Amino acid sequence: MLLHIPDVLTSQEAQSLNAALAAAEWVDGRVTAGYQSARTKHNSQLLEDHPLARELGDKVLGAIEKQPLFMSAALPLRVFPPLFNCYKDGGSFGIHVDNAVRQAAGTSFRIRTDLSATLFLAAPEDYDGGELLVEDTFGTHSVKLPAGHMVLYPATSLHQVRPVTRGARISSFFWIQSMIRDDGQRSVLFDLDMAIQRLSAESPDHPSAVQLTGVYHNLIRMWAEI
């Protein structure tokens, strides 16, 4: 499931992060790439333990935790400290798959990457290219979102970032280990949660709302790894 989560940050908040990052010291993005992806990765990143990365990363974490759509779709167990990257001057990232396990630099914090997230910080009219292309069983999806919006997709997907031919594409990216490892099971729970919320809003006293909520939690009991 590929999900667009709007307004994780307001456009002003995104703009202020974008401006702080534009003035930061960037390093070659291959610092976090695996052997195979390093060959096709042409961008820059903020070092994981850079104070600005940690300060802004905490802001991103604070914002996503307040997003009911994110919590429902990801059912997060652990979230990797958000990283930041910048594509410009033709920079791109060829087709690749993200590493299955990630360890935060200099710590014992380690996650299995079930989901990948990209939070767009630059306004789309300020750069050309830079689309995130994600492949799934229904074909290739092209994603380029307003500043402050986020896309969430299975980390098992092949994906790439198209060359940025004008301006700079600055974004935050990170991974989530979900309580529900399997993307299909997670999608079922998300659909069920959305249907329960609609039923509860339209018909608050409907007895099926309670029963379906029970089914939802019982499925989580069956499938969750915590």
131 sits near Ni ion (criterion: CB under 5 A): no
114 sits near Ni ion (criterion: CB under 5 A): no
Least separation, in Å, of the C-beta of 96 and Ni ion? 6
Give the interface segment with Ni ion, choosing from 14-22, 96-104, 164-172, 178-186 (CB under 5 A).
96-104
Give the interface segment with Ni ion, choosing from 67-75, 95-103, 132-140, 144-152 (CB under 5 A).
95-103
Least separation, in Å, of the C-beta of 221 and Ni ion? 32
| Tokens (6 digits) for 47 | 């070092």
For residue 11, give Cα distances in angstroms to 3, 15, 68.
19, 6, 19
Which DSSP letter does residue 80 get? P
**Which of 27, 194 has the CB closer to Ni ion?**
27
**Which of 98, 131 has the CB closer to Ni ion?**
98
98 sits near Ni ion (criterion: CB under 5 A): yes
**Which of 127, 174 has the CB closer to Ni ion?**
174
What residues line the site for Ni ion (CB under 5 A)? 98
